[in-house]
């Protein structure tokens, strides 16, 4: 005779099952994270812009809180190049954190900053006003592939954490070469996906801690690293481009492409 087995499991069994499921999910996420780090061979493009206002506002808030040290590092590289006046352009400015910080530190440098995302440009303008820089920085919607500057008119070009969004880096490097004055300085910083898996893993953990309250932002680090170029790829793009007198170096998960010259 077939028994009528109860269809509902007792409460304790449900708790055990859900705790096992949670552990399984954690284990999958943990090893999945490692797997992703190790499988960074193929670039997965993250081209496109942040149009989601809520995400853009959140990014802006976090950048204002945590970007002081990165801003200072860029400032020290600009100073090392002896650039204290003239015209500068920040490409892919996002919420404008870098030009806002730098134009306070370098009041004789006239900054223009562009981003493909109108939402980001609007936020950057607002941040600039809040920082007391009324008409200081010229924020515009614009593309890295068609810089809104005259030929050989810039003393400095910056592009921070944006190169991995660009599927045609040579076009951007050529534009940089076109707009920079002879001997003009540049600082281009981004991730490189051939960084040590241990470093990528460690920075990913830190990133998740910083961005823990936003589910989309939380996943952003690995997505950006996967979309970044390897050192070799970047070196080849630079060689192919019209940009001259560059040096490429690495610091932890970052690569820095800088003009050589005064120093
Ligand atoms: C990761 S954010 C970096 C923002 C800022 N530089 C920083 O470090 O805080 C990258 C920015 O590049 C912008 N972007 C993406 N593709 C672009 C393009 N082709 N031209 C200009 N900006 C672009 C995005 O809209 C985004 O705001």
Per-residue pLDDT 10s for the chain (263 aa) are 344 444 555 666 777 777 777 777 666 666 666 565 555 678 999 887 888 899 899 889 989 988 999 999 999 999 999 999 999 999 999 999 999 999 999 999 999 999 999 999 999 999 999 999 877 899 999 999 999 999 999 999 999 999 999 999 999 999 999 999 999 999 999 999 999 989 999 999 998 888 877 777 788 899 999 999 999 999 999 999 999 999 999 999 999 999 997 55
Ligand 1 binding pocket includes 97 (Cβ within 6 Å) = yes
| 99/101 Cα distance (integer angstroms) | 5
Q: Which residue has the tokens 């409460």?
A: 11
How many helices (H) and strands (E) in the chain? 10, 7
Predicted pLDDT at 172: 98
Q: What does pTM read for this prediction?
A: 0.87
Helix axes 53-66, 118-130, angle to 10 degrees: 40
C-alpha 92 – ligand 1 centre gap (Å): 3
Note the pLDDT tens digit of each residue in 103-124.
999 999 999 999 999 999 999 9
Residue 14 burial (CB < 10 Å; 0-12/13-18/19+)?
exposed
- What is the token pair recorded at 22? 């949670």
- Going from the Cα of 223 to the center of ligand 1, the distance in angstroms, rounded, reads 14
Does ligand 1 lie within 6 Å of residue 74's CB atom?
no
Q: CATH topology for 53-259?
A: Rossmann fold (3.40.50)
**Of 142, 63, 153, 57, nearest to 101 (Cα)?**
63
The verdict on the CB of residue 50 being under 6 Å from ligand 1 is: yes
What DSSP letter does each residue of 58-108 carry, written as one string?
A: HHHHHHHHH-HHHHHHHHHHHHHTT--SEEEEEES-TT-HHHHHHHHH-TT
* Pocket flag, ligand 1, residue 169 (CB < 6 Å): no
CA 10 to ligand 1 centroid distance, Å = 53
Task: Report how far ligand 1's centroid is from the alpha carbon of 117 (Å).
Answer: 8
Domain ranges of the chain: 53-259
Q: Is 93 in the pocket of ligand 1 (CB under 6 A)?
A: yes
**Among 198, 152, 211, residue whose Cα is nearest residue 177:** 152
């Amino acid at each position: 005779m077939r028994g009528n087995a109860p269809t509902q499991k007792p409460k304790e069994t449900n708790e055990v099952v859900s705790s096992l499921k949670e552990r399984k999910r954690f284990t999958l996420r943990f090893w999945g994270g490692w797997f992703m780090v190790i499988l960074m061979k193929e670039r997965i493009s993250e081209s496109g812009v942040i149009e989601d206002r809520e995400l853009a506002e959140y990014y802006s808030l976090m950048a204002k809180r945590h970007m002081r040290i990165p801003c200072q590092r860029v400032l020290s590289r600009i100073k090392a190049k002896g650039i204290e006046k003239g015209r500068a352009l920040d490409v892919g400015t996002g919420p404008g954190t870098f030009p806002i910080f730098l134009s306070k530190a370098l009041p004789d440098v006239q900054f223009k900053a562009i981003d493909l995302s109108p939402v980001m440009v609007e936020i950057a303008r607002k941040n600039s006003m809040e920082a007391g820089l009324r008409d200081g920085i010229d924020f515009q919607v614009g593309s890295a592939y068609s810089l809104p500057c005259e030929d050989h008119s810039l003393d400095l070009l910056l592009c921070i954490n944006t190169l991995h969004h660009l599927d045609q880096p040579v076009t951007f490097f050529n534009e940089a070469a076109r707009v920079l004055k002879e001997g003009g300085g540049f600082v281009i910083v981004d991730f490189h996906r051939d960084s040590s898996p241990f470093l990528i893993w460690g920075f990913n953990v830190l990133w998740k801690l910083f961005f823990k309250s936003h589910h989309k932002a939380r996943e952003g680090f690995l997505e950006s690293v996967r979309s970044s170029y390897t050192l070799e790829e970047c070196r080849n793009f630079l060689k192919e481009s019209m940009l001259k007198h560059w040096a490429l170096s690495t610091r932890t998960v970052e690569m820095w492409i800088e003009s050589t010259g005064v120093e």
